[in-house]
Structure 1
């Protein structure tokens, strides 16, 4: 397939970097789909002359598509959890995971998502891979190129900070002071 705008040459030159960029945002199984979607969208561009740095443009496009993918996954997860809560079958995490157990309604779930968004990036990635996508610590360690003990620390930190964030927000919402 040959496109007159030259985008395929730039795409294939940036392919490895795009895969790594997208792989930092989404699980490994989704990387190729997003990279291919980037290619389709890039080939639809009529005039490359308007783009100063086509490779940078492709990387930004791929990253944005990956972020959109994560947002859709969060929405699907929220919808599923809301439906489960309505059926009386709502259950997340282990019996000992009280932070996740308290996430039972739309407002609580939104608060929980906000708490997760406030986690440091690497901690958030490990936490989401474990709690949302169900990765093992070993899989997360391989995905993020960190040790399993670091993964464990990130998940524990994520739980602690999410709990603290949620308790602080609930206190403010209920009219209590932040430290009461």
Structure 2
């Protein structure tokens, strides 16, 4: 059942349903002129929020109250969207800062390695070379390359645990 049909079938036909029939199209067109997107949802939420006032007979200037509620809803949605964008930007900035911090830390850890382990570690992890390719390039045995990588990893691990 659509919002209009639900309001028409409410218990009080001269209450909220009447208010809806008299002012919904006016409110929709007013919001569209203001450049609001999602007008139908805003109008529906506006009538949900005005219902308690209407039920108590407290609505003296319906157009004014409807427009106030609707503009408050639009502003609330704008603030929510702005908070979400700020949160996303903050999260991205924090992730970038964490990535930069991690990169600096990793660089420091690698620079603390002895030269032979450092060279092999860099070729293995950042050069994407296999142990066999590293051995051929540095004219070492594969077993020596494996031992140096193992030592480098142990040293990096020990430094991280400090």
TM-score by length of 1: 0.42
Structure with the greater alpha carbon radius of gyration: 2
Higher relative contact order (CA 8 A, sep 6+): 1
TM-score of the aligned structures, taking structure 2 as reference length: 0.46
Q: Which is helix-richer, 1 or 2? A: 2
